[in-house]
Amino acid sequence: MSASSSSPETSPLSWHGTTILTVRKGGKVVVAGDGQVSLGQTIIKGTARKVRRVGAGQVIAGFAGSTADAFTLFERLETKLERFPDQLKRACVELAKDWRTDRYLRRLEAMMIVADPDESLVLTGTGDVLEPDNAVMGIGSGGMYALAAAKALLDSGLDAEQIARKAMAIAAQICVYTNDSLTVETIDATAS
């Protein structure tokens, strides 16, 4: 083994996991996340809740990345939503600015999907606030698998939650860091 090769004995274990997906269809927005948390090649927990409601329940947020970092970001997002009620994009832009410029926050390793009745956004640690061109977004280790599956199912007769559940099941069959223990939150965009 060369000096530049890493082995489990010499390299630190890294946390893996998470698939987060959002789907908009038929006046509903759904955010779904799997429950697996892995350290190296070991599953530490299979039922983690990586999706939750914030902002008085009118915003759904899901995270991919370190759990401690995600809780910090959830708290910061709550604060921004209190400061800018009913302005999800503004709250997210302000959070992204802090995330990029604050010395402590810059070290956080996570991504978030946030959605309210009107819009869905991805937030990254590089200061990006991205809005999808279409009705679906995915992040995390299995995010691209879930995204591809959801895009393929958008034209089907399935509703937003059914698409999210089916796409997440497909991702769980492909990605070793994704399981089928889901947390699913839905907002009825027509009721707001």
Q: Which residues are annotated as a binding site?
A: 172, 175, 178
The most distant pair of C-alpha atoms in the chain lies apart, rounded to whole Å, by 61
Q: 29: which 2 tokens?
A: 């927005």
Of 140, 155, 123, 152, whose CA–CA distance to 25 is shortest? Answer: 155
Round to the nearest angstrom and report the end-to-end CA distance of the chain. 60
Distances (CA, A) of 130 to 36, 96, 153: 25, 11, 22
Secondary structure of the chain: what % helix, strand, coil (to 5)?
35, 30, 35
The residue annotated as part of the active site, out of 10, 18, 22, 190, is: 18
* Residues in binding site for Na(+): 172, 175, 178
| Active-site residue, 18 included | yes
The β-bridge relationship of strands 42-45 and 37-39 is antiparallel
Residues with active-site annotation: 18
